[in-house]
Every structure is written in C-alpha cells, then in structure tokens.
A = this chain, B = another copy of it.
Amino acid sequence: MIQIIGLKKMPLVKEGDNIGDLIVKAAKQDGVQLENDDVIVVAQKIVSKAEGNVVNLASVVPSPLAERIAKMSDKDPRHVEAILKETKSIVRMREAHLIVETHHGLVCANAGVDRSNIDGEESVVLLPVDPDRSAREIRARIRKLTGVDLGVIVSDTFGRAWRIGQVNVAIGVDGLKAIADYRGSKDMFGHVLNVTQMAVADELASAAELVMRKSDGIPVAIVRGFDYPKGSGSARDLIRPREEDLFR
C-alpha cells in the first residue's frame, strides 16, 4: 500500500527560507515521522520563493516583441517580457497560448512563469534556476537534520498536448531515478513487456497533487511505500531531446 500525506503545517515561504528546515519542522508539528525511502514532493512555487526567484513587475521594461505578443494574448506586457527572458525557443504561439521551451529544456505554457502577489506587489514567480539542485539541497538538508534518506521531487503543474487539464509533473529530482526502465524485462508469461519506460517521477508528482491541490496551504506531500528505482536521478532524464521529439 502507498500513502500520500499532505503536510498541513507548512508556513508561508519567503525569500531566504530553507525549505528542508521548514519541511522537517512542519512534519514534526503534523505528527508525521519522516522515513527512509519516502518521496517528498515540493511545489515549485515555494522553492522559487525561498530562492528569491521572483520578479517585481514594476521593475520590468517590456521589449517591443513582448508588447506585440501581449497585445495578441491579452497578457500584461511585463509578464510576457518575464516569460521571454526564461525562454530558449517558442514552440507554439496562438492567441492567449504561449508554449515555450525554457532554459531548462522543459516544454510548458508561459515558461512556467506565474503571476503572483507578494506583499501587495504585482510579481511573477519564475521556475527555480536549477530544480535538480533545489531538490538536492532539500534532500541533503533533511538528511542532515534527521538522518533520513529519502527522495525529493520539485513539481510543477503543466498542460499537455492532446489532453485537457493540467497535471503535476517532476521538474527537479534527487535521490531516485526519474524513469523506471523495463526495457528487456519480461512479464509473468515470459513475454517482453510492451511498456518499457515508466515516468515514475511524473506519476509520483501527480499522485502528490491529489493532496496538494485544494489550497496553496499544502505545498508539500510525502509519498510513502513506493519502491522507487534507487539511484542518482535527474529531471533532465524526463526531457525528450528535441531531435527525437515528433511534436516540436
């Protein structure tokens, strides 16, 4: 059996906070004992806030391109400028939709740049600069404080091609492999499996979202009891190289 436990006592996160510290403290207040082989899923937004990866829109001067896109897409031109700064290439652009490849190689709407309101200022929250590193730091901190060895996923909420609605996916991974690779494995009848590579880090992120979704007050969830593929993983393993991708 797998359990998914939302941490209810996470405080509001501000720049300079240590997410590992906050998780350990919130787990204690919630009466949850962290265990070896847990997977902790952390919403990208609090990671970016802690890392100060937030831009006050008052400080943004939109480029002429951002102005033109904003006019087509009904967005604030300063928001568009922040998106373009995080963009390596534009994958699709139509009306309100701007699907891009980010500097990390992630393909998502608006480069993952969300509007926010922090202390009364109109701001945007960017994705973490290096979400794998963010996951690594959280994991190391929890291990230092508790001695517990677990996996950490930094998650964000992405749309998909062909399907309506968003799902949580893994954008940063540490302490587990992002992909469970069954290539060459056989099923119980001795036949080679049809399904060969499962994106377990994305499935863990989606599972965690089921307890996170209700409120911004639950940005951290623990998935317990999943026998995940051990090893050194990276969310980069989930990114299909452009030359192998039939959809950009």
Q: Which A residues fall within an 8 A CB radius of B?
A: 1-6, 92, 94, 97, 99, 107, 114-117, 157, 160-169, 178-180, 187-189, 191, 194-195, 197-200, 202-204, 206-207, 209-211, 213-217, 223, 226-227, 237-240, 245-248
Contact = CB atoms under 8 A, between A and B. Distances in A.
Contacts of A198: 157, 165-167, 209, 213
Contact of A163 (B163, B188, B240): B240
A115 B215 CA distance: 43
A248 B162 CA distance: 8
Oligomer copy total: 2
Sorted nearest first, the 9 A-B pairs with minimum C-beta distance are A165-B199, A207-B207, A161-B247, A107-B162, A206-B206, A161-B161, A203-B206, A2-B4, A92-B246
The A interface, classified by DSSP as helix, strand, loop or mixed, is: mixed
A224 B77 CA distance: 44
30 contacts: A1-B4, A1-B6, A1-B211, A2-B211, A3-B4, A4-B207, A99-B246, A116-B191, A161-B161, A161-B246, A161-B247, A162-B240, A163-B199, A163-B240, A164-B237, A165-B178, A165-B198, A165-B199, A165-B200, A166-B195, A166-B197, A166-B199, A167-B206, A180-B213, A189-B216, A200-B213, A202-B206, A203-B210, A207-B207, A210-B223
